[in-house]
Amino acid sequence: TCKRTSFSQAIDACIFICDPVIAAHFYHIRSLLVDLRMHITFLRRNMTDADALVEDAFASIAFQRVSTILSTFTEMVQHIAPERDRLHSLQFLLVDLGVLNETFAVLRLPWGRKSIFADVGKGCRTGDVLLNPQAPTLLQMAFAFLEMLVLENGDMQAMLLEHNDLFLSYMDVAGLSVETLFAAMVRNNLDHIQRHGKEWCDRVFENVMRGRHFDTAQLSLISALAECNGQAVKEVQDYVRSKIQTNRSLEALLAQNHIEDPCEVDLDLERLKIETQGNWLLLLACISNSKDPAATVFAERFVSIEWLIESFLLIPDSWNSSAVGNRWKFALLTCVIQIYLHAES
């Protein structure tokens, strides 16, 4: 059970909520919460056998309603996010009324799993898959809600980090992306990065070696751990470079999405490859600051100044109207600046 905040105590003391926006959300949350609890209770009571609910019509309704309500809460926070004071009030309200506890109840449901093996004969486990096909959609919505709950709120980040093991248990499940939640839980908080950075990097690299590929969320998480508030977290940066340098397989996996000539890449057909390579370039720039000669030497094993400039000049015009294409250009320029441009240049 989550700790109660002063906001909750104020409600108990019948202190009137003066802000009309927060007051409206208060009543909306309470009405949705009744429905949410009813459906989660149904799932909890009927999920003793993971396979039993797959074809159950009532279970399908429950899955859909829980996912929809969590989506509503997520949009509620997103809408109010630009107003910092109201954002924090709404986040605390969601905790105090019990939405966070219900979200944890979803994560703790007895989801059936089976392991995936790349080579059955050799027993090479690559991860787990959830038996219920509706589970990934619901769980991903729960993670998206939690990301918004910790947005720009150090108290909420600390509260969720107390459940670190619960989130880690989903890190190697196929079809889920928990890494963006981990990044949100430490964003702009150096203390949290120092406590969990190396552990999370190790888990990412373990999953990469099992699955034999990097994805964009994994690369973004490592970047979030290697830099805080625009400042380098040298301990994490050195650790990441060391892990890659001492593992040829990791190095090869990072290089496999290398784009030699952007003109030969179809943006529509290979969007994921472009996005992954762009995130890798941003991570490389992050961990290879030009002030550290050893870091620059490390970066040169993957990209040269000639390739960066040529790739930028060869970007097709069709990429300019695409968010992925613009992010690719930003990644190239960031690499040039972070890795190769020195103060005396």
Query: Taking a C-beta distance cutoff of 8 angstroms, is the pair 127, 210 a contact?
Result: yes
Closest C-alpha among 159, 226, 214, 178 to residue 1: 159
What secondary structure letter does DSSP report for 48? S
Residue 73's pLDDT is 98
Query: Can you tell me which residue has the tokens 């927060």?
Result: 22
Give dist(CA 201, CA 179) in Å, integer.
10
**Whole-prediction pTM value?**
0.87
140 phi, psi to nearest 5 deg: -65, -35
Would you give the distance in Å from CA 135 to the centre of its chain? 18
Query: Which distant-in-sequence residues (6+ apart) come within 8 Å of 211 by Cβ?
Result: 126, 127
What secondary structure letter does DSSP report for 227? E
Residue 316's pLDDT is 84
The tokens for 40 are 């989660």
Residue 344's pLDDT is 47
Closest C-alpha among 239, 151, 160, 153 to residue 194: 239
Q: How long a stretch of residues is the chain? A: 345
Residue 6's pLDDT is 59
Query: Which distant-in-sequence residues (6+ apart) come within 8 Å of 39 by Cβ?
Result: 61, 62, 65, 66
Q: Which residues pair with 117 in a beta bridge?
A: 125
Please give the C-alpha separations between residue 20 and each of 9, 26, 80, 93, 193, in angstroms, as whole numbers.
Answer: 19, 10, 13, 14, 37
Q: In a structure prediction context, what are the per-residue pLDDT tens digits for the chain, which is 345 residues long?
A: 566 565 555 554 444 467 888 889 999 999 999 999 999 999 988 876 555 455 577 888 999 999 999 999 999 999 999 998 899 999 999 999 999 999 999 999 988 888 776 654 444 556 788 888 888 999 999 999 999 999 999 999 999 999 999 999 999 888 888 999 999 999 989 999 999 999 999 999 998 888 778 889 999 999 999 999 888 899 999 999 999 999 999 888 888 878 887 778 887 778 888 898 999 999 999 998 757 788 888 998 899 999 999 999 888 888 888 888 899 999 999 999 988 885 444
